[in-house]
Amino acid sequence: EVQLLESGGGFVQTGESLTLSCAASGFTFVSYAMNWVRQDPVKGLQWVAAVSGSGSRAYYADSVKGRFTISRDNSKKTLYLQMNNLRAEDTAIYYCAKDQFDYGDSVSFSPWGQGTLVTVSS
């Protein structure tokens, strides 16, 4: 069974940093791109970032580009999201999500972890 377990969320002040982790199991981790998707009550679901299976390519939403860094350690089967210069609008539940397919150009997410809450206070 595929399992994704996020950790690292918490309460921080504006401008501070936080690193999220996602421990994966139950599938060949290196074969799949991985993603972070966040959700807040106002803006709904928002894709944040993706990283290729090898870790050599990363993609970001414009709203986090230059502040967030996605990475992975395939030996530890763990995905990371380093978040710097956090803003109040980054407050959300952050989900780790596996690419549904290990091929093709289109991206979809399955499964998702249970999420970790990040609260940024000004």
Partner 1 sequence: SYELTQPPSESVSPGQTATITCSGDALPNQFLYWYQQKPGQAPVIVMSRDTERPSGIPERFSGSTSGTTGTLTITGVQAEDEADYYCQSADNTGTYPVVFGGGTKLTVL
Mapped to the 3 state alphabet, what secondary structure does the chain carry? CCEEEEECCEEEECCCCEEEEEEEECCCHHHCCEEEEEEECCCEEEEEEEECCCCCCEEECCCCCCCEEEEEECCCCEEEEEECCCCHHHCEEEEEEEECCCCCCCCCEEEECCCEEEEEEC
Considering CB under 8 A, how many residues would be counted as binding partner 1?
Answer: 22
Among 8, 27, 59, 71, binds partner 1 (CB under 8 A): 59
When asked if residue 50 is in the footprint of partner 1 (CB under 8 A), the reply is yes
When asked if residue 46 is in the footprint of partner 1 (CB under 8 A), the reply is yes
Among 8, 69, 111, 119, binds partner 1 (CB under 8 A): 111
When asked if residue 27 is in the footprint of partner 1 (CB under 8 A), the reply is no
When asked if residue 112 is in the footprint of partner 1 (CB under 8 A), the reply is yes
When asked if residue 41 is in the footprint of partner 1 (CB under 8 A), the reply is no
